[in-house]
A = this chain, B = another copy of it.
Amino acid sequence: MQYPKPVTRLIESYMKLPGIGEKTATRLAFFTINMDQEDVGEFSQALQEVQTKLHYCHICGNITDQEPCEICANEQRDQTQILVVEQPKDIMALENMHSYNGLYHVLGGVLSPVNGIGPDDLRIKQLVERLQHDDLITEVIVATNATSEGEATAMYLAKLIKPAQIKVTRLAHGLAVGADIEYADQMTLQRAVDGRQQI
């Protein structure tokens, strides 16, 4: 015996989400059946809207429902800095600091020869074009993740951009705020020592 078709289809859809197996998908599907009809309608519509109403900003590559995105369109922001991130999600984390007021550029990933991702697969060409056409920019802050691939991408970008007399910086690495030295990994400790600052 099988579940009725609509249930099976919903289970299959839930299973396409990351980290959701058959058991969880079944639990979610049965929960959905008993959910408020309005909530399910909104859920269904929200799914369609993220596909129809969202696109990538043609300037910075951020996910947006405007063109250009809210940040690129905001002339109040500091037009001299571009902060380069891997993914649109990173922008939200940085915006939640409420202290950076410059522009962004989304690479869409990092250089990864192992996975066959080269410079042409990332939005590096678009970054270079932005720098060429926009004389205001004086600093590019590379905020790729602190992984070996993120580091390599930062180095690649630095080599590419520095000849244009634009300052290229990288986010500081070191101990996380509140972290115990006792439990810090060797790499992080090494970075913290190397990047020590006078007090």
A residues contacting B by CB (< 8 A) are: 1, 3-7, 9-10, 12-14, 16-19, 24, 26-33, 35, 37, 39-51, 53-54, 63-66, 70-71, 87-89, 91-92, 95-96
Contact = CB atoms under 8 A, between A and B. Distances in A.
A51 B31 contact: no
Contact of A89 (B6, B12, B26, B49): B26
Nearest to A9: B46
Contacts of A92: 1, 3
Given A10-B46, A35-B16, A30 B65 contact: no
A154 to B, nearest CB: 23
B89 A54 contact: no
A165 to B, nearest CB: 31
B18 A47 contact: no
B44 A47 contact: yes
28 contacts: A1-B92, A1-B95, A5-B53, A6-B49, A6-B65, A7-B50, A7-B54, A7-B63, A10-B43, A10-B46, A13-B39, A13-B42, A13-B43, A13-B46, A14-B43, A16-B35, A16-B39, A17-B32, A18-B27, A30-B89, A32-B50, A32-B51, A33-B63, A35-B51, A40-B47, A40-B50, A40-B51, A44-B47
